Structure 1
C-alpha cells in the first residue's frame, strides 16, 4: 500500500517510542513481528505498517512516553483547531525529513503530535 493511500485527515497515523538502545529495539521488533526499519541518523529509526507507521527515537523510556502522531492535510488549520479546543501548543510547526509537524498537550496532559506534508 502506498503511503499516500494510508493518509487520513486528522486520524492517528504514526506512533513514536523512546528507546535507550535503538539496535536492541530494532532487533526485538524485527524478530518478534517482522518489522523493517529505515534509519534516519544515529538517533532515529522508522518502521512502516499497513495502517500505522512509527519510529523509535533515542531517549530514556518511561510509562506514557509513546507519542501518538496524527496526519493532517492542512497542518495550520489543524493547529488552530487544537488551540481553539483547549490544547496547549508544546512545539510549534517545525520541519523534519518527510514533512512538518507540531506537538501539543490535550486537556488531560497527554502529548500528541500532528504532521503534514
Structure 2
C-alpha cells in the first residue's frame, strides 16, 4: 500500500453474475464473492469490485472512464462482443496510440487502448 495513492475501484452491476462471467472470459479476472451482492477482483492493475446496483457508470453522466490496455485491440474487441459486451465507440487514433469504448453487461462504460 502506498499512502495517498488510489488502491481500489468499485463498479455498480445490475447483472452481477453476467458481469463477472464477462470479465472472467474476456479479461481473465478471478473473483471472490462477499455475500450475494458484492464480488471483488485482484491482479487487474488495480484491485476492485462490483456491487449489486441498478445504476451504471457512463461518461455521458460524468462518470470517470477506466481505460484498460491491450496489445491486440482487434482480437480483444471481438472477444468483448462474443461475451456480451457492446462496442459504443469504434477504434480511433490519438497521439500515442488508439482505443475503443465498450459497455459491459451491467451497462458500465470502459475503454481499451494500445500503443501498437
TM range (shorter): 0.3 to 0.5
TM-score normalised by L of structure 2: 0.48
**Higher share in strand:** 1
TM-score normalised by L of structure 1: 0.47
